[in-house]
Amino acid sequence: MLSRAQTVIAFLEIIASVWGSVIGLVFVAHVSGVAVLIGLVVLAVFSFFGVAGILLLRGHQLGYPLSVATQVLQIPVFLTPWGGYYCIGGAGLRVSLDAEGSFGWYVHLGSQLHFSWAAEPYVTTIGVNVIAIILLVLLIKSRAPKVTPTTSSVARAA
């Protein structure tokens, strides 16, 4: 039986998959050459989110580990002059700090996948997606075995 947290996470992953796949398909339709690979990577990542969500919702044994992986993919945020990465699937709250000591945050509903190399910003920024951390914790807690006392253990304690 799925917990409420698992159901919410599964639906967020499925929604992220739909939005991300639309973004990837639109991108692929409007570019040519090597740039098509970028759209295909977006499609692959967000298809993975959808598979994880569907399997989690169906209670399949791979649903949980794949959903953990989707949450882990969304946690890091880093932007440097040499490269950058962040991913939001469904909902995100990016909290970050840059090399100059400036604190920042960004809320997003939908899907985003950002890769960069040898590009702006000129200031290094690192952070985390707080919603992904919360969902990961809830997902792990929902999987933890629930210990309930049995009548024999209660009788032994008395």
Range of the domain at 126: 4-143
Q: What is the tens place of the pLDDT at every residue in 137-146?
A: 999 999 866 6
Helix (H), strand (E) at residue 137: helix 130-143
pLDDT digits (tens, 9 = 90+) for 118-135: 766 677 899 999 999 999
Closest CA to 36 of 44, 47, 24, 48: 24
- The answer to whether residue 81 is domain-embedded is yes
Provide the β-strand partners of residue 92.
108
**Mean pLDDT for the stretch of residues 61-65:** 96
Rounded CA-CA distance 6/155 in Å is 34
Domain count, the chain: 1
pLDDT of residue 143: 84
The reported pTM is 0.85
